[in-house]
Amino acid sequence: MGPAAREFQHDSFQDRETIVHYLSALGEAFRQGQLVLSSQGEDFLIDAPGLMRFTVRARQRGDRAQMVLKFSWKNRIKNDDFRVGPISPRREDESR
């Protein structure tokens, strides 16, 4: 069984300038490779790798709009099938 899941969530109403401030701070955190999310005295630390999936989703229905920015990645990428070395010549009995 793997490690216990950890989760952080924060919901609030903010004005545009505050949202711009948060997005700027988020951009700098990604640049540094480490995100610290804080709410109500609790810190949530996440290491961000150099390569991750980025998804943007937006929709508008009537007078309501929603935009979701999603970043996802695996903390450890396992490449057991990757090898570097000379090519082995195929033996005659292996080609049949």
Q: What is the pLDDT of residues 40-52, one digit of tens each?
A: 888 999 999 889 9
Please state whether the predicted TM-score (pTM) of the whole model is above 0.85.
Answer: no
Q: According to DSSP H, which parts of 33-66 are helical? A: none
Which among 54, 41, 42, 49 is positioned nearest to 8, based on CA atoms? Answer: 42
Report the pLDDT value the prediction gives residue 78, as an integer from 0 to 100.
59
What does pLDDT average to over the chain? Answer: 85
| Domain segments of the chain as ranges | 16-72
Q: Per-residue pLDDT averaged across 61-84, rounded?
A: 82
